[in-house]
Amino acid sequence: MRAPVVFVGPTLPRAEVAALLPAARILPPVRHGDLLRLDPGAGDTVLIIDGLFLQAASVRHREIMYLLQRGVTVAGSSSMGALRAAELWPYGMRGFGEIFRLYRDGEIDGDDEVAIVHGTAEDDHRAYSDPLVGIRIALRDAAAAGVISDRDAGLMLDVAIAIPFRSRGFRALESAVRGHVPARSVEAFRTWRSAHDTDAKAADARLLLAAAVTGDPALCPAGPGDRPVRNVHTWMFDRWEHRFHGTGTGDEWVADVDAAAALRLVHPAFPDLHRRHVLSGVAGLDPDHPALVEGAVAAARAKGLRVPGPDPASTDWLTARDLALPEDEALATLLVRAFGVVHGGSRSRWDLPPDLRTPTMMSWGREVVIAARRCHDRLLGPADGGPRRRFKAEVTDQVIAGHWGCDPRDLTGHAWDRGIADLPALRRLAEPFVALLKSRPTSTIGPGGDPVTNAVWQRSW
């Protein structure tokens, strides 16, 4: 079992988390994609205290359910952790603390109950406002202690709810309630607060960390008593995983989407494998079936698909050169492009041919990415915190055309044959690899067309 992962800030400072749970790997507030970068397995523990709401996309429920399905213990408290735990506790996410209970039991339901304004990682995510739920609990406890009346507590809570969360806080509340409740009640509440810890979020976070330290049996993975997690791998989730998941190679992290881009651009067998992958889906045949093209063409014609006339303007997918091909070949090319091109920037591992989804091929792609980064820095200089220097479009076109062995004027058609939507998309995808391809001619990609054994995989890079 690896060290527990804790997503925290600003509920508790990192130093306190490290003191309470010395073995923890402490990370900033969780956001969309962070859990997929972890790649934890059965026996691992992920504790979510804080998460981003507005600065970035929030952690998705399906990301948490993916971990639950893999046997990971996922628990939350205090803020985003309490909110997600209350939503997913039937599936086995564990919740700790008062705020979790309030959400789970339906006593509160708004995201703004836990939302606050806070600083950046450089100042340890210092809080600049107070959460509504903390004010709510403090007013409830003060009323229960007889410090203020239930009526005054209710009026003060109504005023706190009306304050925008960016400006919400105990001091702001004291100013805003003037004229709504007696001054003696405000003063009594202030005095009571000075003698009591009213940071409900922090208290719940400490409770969660204590459970991890003591091995609380309630901190456990999803089990038979929980609702089964099903259907995690939707097409959208697969795109998230492809985008955020990755692997470290040496000291560098490479996302799967970047490794796949290397495969798409420089693997010499990609066009043929991609073609077979797409046509197999059309024909309903194995990609290696000897009659694959004939089967795909027959299936297309059975649906009324035909090659357009000789005017290239009559189709979006075939050039004048393509229209001069034999009719079956032209129709097969049309099918590969019409069904194999992915529009936009959202790709999935399922867009890759099966032969290129293997761990060996993805490792190959990661090495290409790392080599490309080094070449880029060598030729153009490192970013040094500023904008990354880029090659001009015409340079990118020339280098890619040279690598693919085609005329730059024919790049669009060749991009389609690799599942790339258009020339701008090709340039965006290819630009990080231009320095590498300028430095290494196509002939060094590998003897006998085998890209796994030579060229950019030489350790001298």
Quick: pLDDT tens for 210-221: 999 999 999 999
Count: domains in the chain? 2
Quote the CA–CA distance of 203 and 183 in Å, as a whole number.
Answer: 29
Give residue 249's pLDDT.
61
The pLDDT tens digits for 242-292 are 889 998 766 788 999 999 999 999 999 999 999 999 999 999 999 999 999
Q: What are phi and psi of 253, to 5 degrees?
A: -100, 135
Residues 38 and 7 grouped into a single domain: yes
Where is 21: in which H helix or E strand?
none
Residues 306 and 188 grouped into a single domain: no
Quote the CA–CA distance of 208 and 6 in Å, as a whole number.
Answer: 10
Residues 14 and 68 grouped into a single domain: yes
Residues 29 and 2 grouped into a single domain: yes
Residues 36 and 58 grouped into a single domain: yes
The token pair at 210 is 């204590």
Residues 248 and 160 grouped into a single domain: no
Residues 206 and 247 grouped into a single domain: no
Residues 248 and 141 grouped into a single domain: no
Give residue 345's pLDDT.
62
Residue 18, Cβ density class (10 Å: 0-12 exposed, 13-18 middle, ≥19 buried): middle
3-state secondary structure of 73: strand
Helix H segments across 70-169? 80-88, 98-104, 132-144, 150-162
Confidence of residue 311 (pLDDT cuts 50, 70, 90): low
- The CB density around residue 307, as the number of other CB atoms within 10 Å, is 23
Give residue 251's pLDDT.
73
Give residue 109's pLDDT.
93
Confidence of residue 385 (pLDDT cuts 50, 70, 90): low
Closest CA to 164 of 110, 100, 85, 245: 110
The pLDDT tens digits for 188-210 are 999 999 999 889 999 999 999 99
- The CB density around residue 352, as the number of other CB atoms within 10 Å, is 26
Residues 37 and 94 grouped into a single domain: yes
Residue 367 zone, left/alpha/beta (φ > 0; ψ -120 to 50; rest): alpha
% of the chain at pLDDT higher than 90: 75
Buried b (16+ CB within 10 A) or exposed e, 37-74: ebebeeebbbbbbbbbbeeeebbbebbbbbbbbbebbb
In the listed set 206, 232, 258, which residue is the last one of a domain according to the structure?
Answer: 232
Quote the CA–CA distance of 243 and 256 in Å, as a whole number.
Answer: 6
Mean of the per-residue pLDDT values of the chain: 89
CB of 270 closer than 8 Å to CB of 263: yes
Quote the CA–CA distance of 293 and 275 in Å, as a whole number.
Answer: 10
3-state secondary structure of 91: helix
Residues 214 and 336 grouped into a single domain: no
pLDDT, average across residues 66-79: 97
% of the chain at pLDDT higher than 70: 91
In the listed set 201, 232, 263, which residue is the last one of a domain according to the structure?
Answer: 232
Which are the contacts of 94, defined by CB distance < 8 A and separation ≥ 6?
Answer: 73, 74, 75, 76, 85, 218, 219, 220
Residue 85 zone, left/alpha/beta (φ > 0; ψ -120 to 50; rest): alpha
Residues 293 and 356 grouped into a single domain: yes
Domain that holds residue 204: 1-232
In the listed set 232, 249, 274, which residue is the last one of a domain according to the structure?
Answer: 232
Sequence letter at residue 74? V
Which are the contacts of 65, defined by CB distance < 8 A and separation ≥ 6?
Answer: 88, 91, 229, 232
Q: pTM of the prediction?
A: 0.84
The pLDDT tens digits for 419-451 are 999 999 999 999 999 999 988 654 344 433 444
Residues 360 and 215 grouped into a single domain: no
